[in-house]
Amino acid sequence: MRVNRITDEVWEIPTTEKSGMLVPARIYATPTILESMDSGVFEQVTNVACLPGIKRYALCMPDGHWGYGFPIGGVAAFDVRSGIISPGGVGYDVNCGMRLIKTDLTREDVQPQLDRLMTELFRRVPAGVGASGFVRLDRSSFNHVMTKGARWCVEQGFGWHRDLEAIEEGGCITGADPTTVSDQARNRGMNQLGTLGSGNHYLEVQVASNERIFDKETASAWGITGHDQIVVMVHCGSRGFGHQVASDYLKVFEKAMRRYGISVKDQQLACAPFKSIDGQEYFAAMNCAANTAFANRQVITHQIREAFAAVFGRSAEEMGMELVYDVAHNIAKVERYPEGDLVVHRKGSTRALGPASEQLPLRYRTTGQPIICGGSMETGSYVLAGTERAMRDTFASTMHGSGRRMSRAQAKKAIRGEQVQKHMRERGILVKAVSMSGLAEEVGFAYKNISEVVEAVDRAGITKTVAELRPIGNIKG
């Protein structure tokens, strides 16, 4: 497949490379990252370029790798009138996303209590497949969670009103309709608020040191001040609820495509016209799952604050535990661009609004939107800022993490979880995991070098690097 160089960070596959491509495919990567990408990325991003109503380009970010239908790291925007919506472009974990909480504590404050702190966090934030949280919901209250998202949690005392300003869409996406959600999805999600889940989901205690802050003005505006400051990062989504919503509508769309006269290159790209009844029902159900994910991370934040308060004997307010930002990286949203209203699918990619965007609260309009990118549990994670260029070139989108370079099965063959845990402890990182095999799946060498991935999007101008955060404690689902 011919890949043309546009710049050293942008590569284009022309429409002549595959029958049915309606737009070119563009991959953001350095030459080294491009060479290391699995063949599935090229096949899948060009398949996406064939979907009805797609605008401008099918995109893949430098953390891209093979996914279900769409590549992870994929971005695609479709006309709301003539285009489609596809669960494969959102992913099974609807509104999987990242949240960052700052503190006024330093490593010197926390290190002597780190073991106790991680034990308390592990106790208060359940992890693993099928784990249940402490919040008990009936059908009516779960409807409120689906429609109000994080706002419902704050109303119940699980957070502060100012938290909502630091969440994408204020933690509540409009258009959620609980009548579009199956009973099976409800049953899977009803008791999972405040839980991490499994796989690559985690809760991490990190350090912001002076030498790893690259844009002091922006970092300071977000409360990241360095001096070995402690911050907490959370990565999780809508749990079994979102998975069931995706599963339900994939079945619906697979049957409906013939009725709508849609053919796709891969059955995993099953879709429906956005304006159709099927498309609108999936969109409403997906928004229910997205709001539930915002609520899940909000309850987890409450539990993190409670754990810190229990260990350090001070209130969360006294320790300055403010939310820096919460942003989704698996979602479809209607956004306005020069082409008009578009359904922007981001799957393993993050919204990256630049400074002065009217979609941002005032507190972020001088800096651009914070973007939280998780690395492997053995390396660092990054905080980036959105740019005007991202709004022009990539439908305001950028990377979401380091991206896998090795499958979970390959990682488990290469190392045992006990070895990973021992090596990390020797390097000053305390890890608590539900299962040792799950820990082996997430070993650092199974992922790309996140610093190289960050450098690619920084050089491309679609985000600005603000700070790198290094882990000292990790809870793995």
Residues annotated as catalytic (active site), given as ranges: 400
Q: How far is CA 252 from CA 54, 208, 266, 299, in A?
A: 21, 46, 16, 32
The Cα–Cα gap between 117 and 311 comes to 6
Look-up of token digits 């308390």: 120
On whether the CB atoms of residues 442 and 200 are closer than 8 A, the answer is: yes
Find the helix or strand (DSSP H, E) in which 20 lies: none
Can you tell me the distance from the alpha carbon of 376 to that of 97, in angstroms, rounded to the nearest whole number? 15
Residue 399 in tokens: 């990377």
CA distance 406 to 187: 34
User: Among positive and negative, which fits the CA dihedral 295, 237, 384, 376?
Assistant: positive
> Within 10 Å of residue 173's Cβ, how many Cβ atoms?
22
Q: Which residues pair with 58 in a beta bridge?
A: 25
CB 271 within 8 A of CB 144: no
- Mark out the alpha helices in 92-215 (DSSP H runs): 107-110, 114-124, 139-148, 150-155, 183-189
For residues 98 and 331, is the Cβ–Cβ distance under 8 A?
Answer: no
Cα 218 to Cα 450: distance, rounded to the nearest angstrom: 21
Contact criterion met (CB below 8 Å) for 441 and 377: no
Residues for the chain: how many in total? Answer: 477
Helix (H) or strand (E) segment spanning residue 357: none
Residue keyed to tokens 């797609």: 54
CA distance 393 to 460: 10
| Token pair in block for residue 357 | 């965007």
Write out the H or E segment, with its range, that includes residue 4: strand 4-5
